[in-house]
Chain A
Amino acid sequence: MKGTHRVIIQTKRLRYDFELRRNITIIRGDSATGKTTLIDMIQEYVNNPSGSPVELTCDKACHVLTGTLWREQLSAMQDAIVFIDEGNEFVKSKDFSKEIQVTDNYYVIVSREGLPTLPYSVDEIYGIRTSGKYGTLKQYYHEFYRIYRDNTLAKTVKPETVIIEDSNSGYQFFDSVCSDYDLKCISAGGKSNVFHHLNF
C-alpha cells in the first residue's frame, strides 16, 4: 500500500477523521483522549458486518490486531489498515517487526513506549484531541495532531555535536556536512544508543 488514506469513523456521539501517510503511525498522549475508544469502534464495526451503529469510511479495509494469536490474524490481513491498541506486548518483539515488513498493510499503533525494532518516522507520531462538537450534531469531533511539530523546540538550536543513528552511508553523509561547519559528528551505532551518547 502506498500514499495517503483517509479514515472517518463515527457514531451518534463520536467522530474521528484523520489521514495516514506512512506505513507506521504511532498514537500516544494523555489518558482519556479517546485512543482506546477509536480502536473499540473499529473492532465493533469489523465484528458486526451485518449491522453496526458505527460507520466507517475508508478506501481500505480496517482491522484490529490483538492477543497472542496475532501472527495467525495478520496472515489474513492484506492491503489493509491494521490498528493495535496498547497492552499488546507483541508490538515490541522482533518477530512482529519482521512479519510486518513483508506485508503491504498500514499500521496504527497505540503505544507510549519506544519501539526500536520498528522503522517509524518522528513525523508520524500523533496525539488525539477533541476539537468540539461536529456541526450541529451531538457528536464530539476527534482529530490527530502531530506531537513533534516544527515549533517543538522553543529556542534556536546551536549544535556542538551531531549524533547520527546510522553508522554507514548516513553517517558518512552527515560527517561530511558537519566537517564543513566545524561540527563534531559521531555515530550512535543504532537508534537505541542515541540516548546513551547524549549523557556523555
Chain B
Amino acid sequence: MLNIFYGDMSDAVYNTASYFKYDYEDEWIVDSFVKKMILDVDHSTVLDSGVIDSPVLGKIPPLALSGGVKTLILVKFNTTKVFNASTRGDNCAKWLLKIAEKEDRTINLRHLMDFGDEPFMIHILNTNQTVHSMAELIPIAGEFV
C-alpha cells in the first residue's frame, strides 16, 4: 500500500533529482517496469542502461530524465529513504500506485497530487486514515499542505 505523509517532513529527501544523480544504478534503468514508466511519462525509449532516446532532446543519459521519473525510480528501488514526491506531476500518480500495489512504500507530498478517478487505497500517515478516492483524500490531506 502507498503511505503518504503530507506537509513538511524533516527526514524526507527534498531534492530528489540531486539524490538520483549519485544513487541510481544501471540495472534500474533497464528494468522492464522502469522502461514502461519512462516511455509513458517522458515519451522516451531506453536503448541501454546509459542511453535513452528522447523525442525532444535526442539521445540522453539517465541524468537527463525528467524529475518525475527520477523520483519514481528512487521510490521503486531505494526503500531505505522517504522521498519528496512533490517533484512529480500528476502524470506520475498512477505509477506511484502501481509501485505500491504489491509492496509498501512511503512518500512525502507537499501538494495535493491528483490520483485520478479510479478507486485506490492510500494510507495517510498524518491521521492514520486509509482513503479510497480523491473525495476522501482531499479534506484530510488539504489540512497539511
Size band of the B side of the interface?
A: 20 to 34
**Docked complex: B60-87 residues within 8 A CB-CB of A:** 66-69, 86-87
With A112-B86, A113-B86, A113-B145 known as contacts, the answer to whether A32 contacts B110 (CB < 8 A) is no
Interface residues of chain A: helix, strand, loop or mixed (majority): loop
CB-defined contacts of B145 to chain A, threshold 8 Å: 113-114
Tell me whether B89 and A29 are in contact (CB under 8 A): yes
CB-defined contacts of A87 to chain B, threshold 8 Å: 14-18, 67, 87
Tell me whether B43 and A32 are in contact (CB under 8 A): yes
A155 sits at the interface (CB 8 A): no
CB-defined contacts of A130 to chain B, threshold 8 Å: 56
CB-defined contacts of A29 to chain B, threshold 8 Å: 89
CB-defined contacts of B143 to chain A, threshold 8 Å: 195-196, 199
B20 to chain A, nearest CB (A): 11
A96 sits at the interface (CB 8 A): no
**Docked complex: A158-200 residues within 8 A CB-CB of B:** 195-196, 198-199
0/1 string, B13-40, CB within 8 A of A gives 1: 0111110000000000000000000000
B98 sits at the interface (CB 8 A): no
Tell me whether B111 and A195 are in contact (CB under 8 A): no
Give the B-binding residues of A (Cβ under 8 A): 13-14, 28-37, 86-89, 111-114, 130, 140, 195-196, 198-199
Name 13 A/B residue pairs within 8 A (Cβ), A-sorted: A13-B57, A14-B57, A31-B41, A31-B68, A31-B88, A32-B66, A32-B68, A89-B14, A89-B15, A113-B86, A113-B111, A140-B56, A199-B143
